[in-house]
Structure 1
Amino acid sequence: MYKHFLFSALLIVICPFVHGQDDWKLKSDKDNIKTYSKKLADSKINAVKIESVFPCSVSQFVSVLMDVDSYDDWIYNSKSTRLIKKVSPAELYYYSEVAFPWPTANRDFVSHVVISQDPRTKIARVDAKNVSGLVPAKPNLVRIEKSSGTWVITPQGPNQVKIEYILQVDPGGDLPAWLINPFASKGLVETFKNLRKQLSKPEYVSARPPFIVE
């Protein structure tokens, strides 16, 4: 139970690429999902990368990521999420709280999400970064102050995309790195499994964001 809650702390920050693409170590390759980790010079928490192929369009995948109200349905142990501000169809801010077991305090954060796409390759990228000042700190919650992650969505053919997600986040508080690092990839795998189910819902199958080119 405690491990499962730790997994979720590393999942729900959806931000710029962790610089440098080498030194990744493969941790798991199962069910069409590969997970990697990498040590970082400036953090005690490892960066995590996960790769998989999904039977969907770029539009479908982007539509799920931009539907903040649905995050609790598929992001592992997300307690509550709400939209703060929608700047444009391709940019928004949201607030989220992550559930942790007693006596560990829940975590929360505010994230700024921006989507871009290369019109030539049609590769889409979803960047987000935690921001401060939009939501006051709340009693009994630990505010996540450092997080970065990026989704890269690459078309592979008709109704198929390759997904790469890179995440680096420090959940704050007194959780030791030796406890967090071993389980990060497992939590991402659970989220990716949930994501497959989410993508099959009718509202996403027919979605066509105006800023995405197929």
Structure 2
Amino acid sequence: MRAMYRVITVCALPWLSGIAVAEDWQVAKQADGITVSLSAQPGSDYKTYKGVVTINAPLVKVRGLQEDASGACAWIHECKSQKLLKHEGAKSWTYTQFNTPWPVTPRDSVLEVTSSEGADGSITRQLKGVPTYLPEEKGFVRVAQVEGYWKLEPKGPNATQVTYQVHTEPGGSVPSWLANKFVVDAPFNTLKSLKALAEQR
């Protein structure tokens, strides 16, 4: 079980939004204790999103929900299915399929997740898309690029601050209205569902 903590469910539909250089954050939505901010990404038509929420549950419980790769579709925005492909040391690989509204072809994504633990007990998982890790699936467009991270920070024995930041190049053709909607809905709905499940007694 200790090794399993590295296997986090990392995709909250990363088919629409590479990161690290995003700046000039603008708050796009604040509700239910969740703040979603957006930033333009140099060289990209798609914005980077960042969602932050404090969950009234210990970090170990939040982590447990994220370790369940297949069960995590209960809280990942528009997730159809997800599975763990491989786990090796501090790295894991996951494959996820996503629902998309008509007429957009459904997306799928393969991620490499590198996990680290801070001296303060925090957990960070860097997310990197590896689209050629698996052959393409019929009926899906493979997400071309993903870069981002999850960070879980303990805030006392019964609270965890969660930050989720991602930029994605979705591949294929995506209408601008859908892209703009996604970069707000994906982090917000993912964190809202994760918070609700983690706070259940």
1:170 Cα shift? 1.7
Q: Distance in 2 between matches of 1:69 and 1:91?
A: 18
Number of the residue aligned with 2:111: 111
> 1:33-78: per-residue Cα shift (whole Å, max 9, x none)?
1110001112110000111101122222222222211121111211
Q: Does 1:68 align with 2:80?
A: no
Where do 5+ consecutive residues of structure 1 fail to align? 1-9, 203-214
Judged with a 3 Å threshold, the aligned counterparts in structure 2 of structure 1 residues 105 and 185 are, in CA distance, closer, same or farther, namely same
> 1:79-113: per-residue Cα shift (whole Å, max 9, x none)?
1111111224x532111111123432111111112
Number of the residue aligned with 2:3: none
Number of the residue aligned with 1:97: 97
1:195 Cα shift? 0.6
Number of the residue aligned with 2:60: 59
Judged with a 3 Å threshold, the aligned counterparts in structure 2 of structure 1 residues 131 and 28 are, in CA distance, closer, same or farther, namely same
Q: Distance in 2 between matches of 1:102 and 1:21?
A: 30
Question: Once superposed, which parts of structure 1, at least 4 consecutive aligned residues long, lie more than 3 Å away?
Answer: 176-179
Amino acid paired to 1:161:
T
Alignment of 1:5-20 (within 5 A): 11-13=12-14, 18-20=19-21
Q: Distance in 2 between matches of 1:21 and 1:138?
A: 31
Number of the residue aligned with 1:167: 166
Identical positions, percent: 24
Q: Distance in 1 between matches of 2:191 and 2:112?
A: 21
Q: Does 1:34 align with 2:30?
A: no
Alignment of 1:147-162 (within 5 A): 147-162=146-161
Number of the residue aligned with 2:24: 23
Scaled by the length of structure 1, the TM-score of the pair is 0.79
1:198 Cα shift? 2.6
1:21 Cα shift? 6.1
- Does structure 2 conserve the Cα–Cα contact (< 8 Å) formed by 1:27 and 1:35? yes
- Counting matched residue pairs gives 189
Number of the residue aligned with 2:194: 195
Q: Which has the larger radius of gyration?
A: 1
Amino acid paired to 1:72:
C
Q: Distance in 1 between matches of 2:167 and 2:21?
A: 13
- Does structure 2 conserve the Cα–Cα contact (< 8 Å) formed by 1:77 and 1:99? yes
- Does structure 2 conserve the Cα–Cα contact (< 8 Å) formed by 1:13 and 1:111? no
Q: Distance in 2 between matches of 1:106 and 1:72?
A: 15
User: Which stretch shifts more, 26-35 or 55-64?
Assistant: 55-64
1:201 Cα shift? 6.0
Judged with a 3 Å threshold, the aligned counterparts in structure 2 of structure 1 residues 145 and 195 are, in CA distance, closer, same or farther, namely same
Number of the residue aligned with 1:77: 78
Judged with a 3 Å threshold, the aligned counterparts in structure 2 of structure 1 residues 179 and 50 are, in CA distance, closer, same or farther, namely same
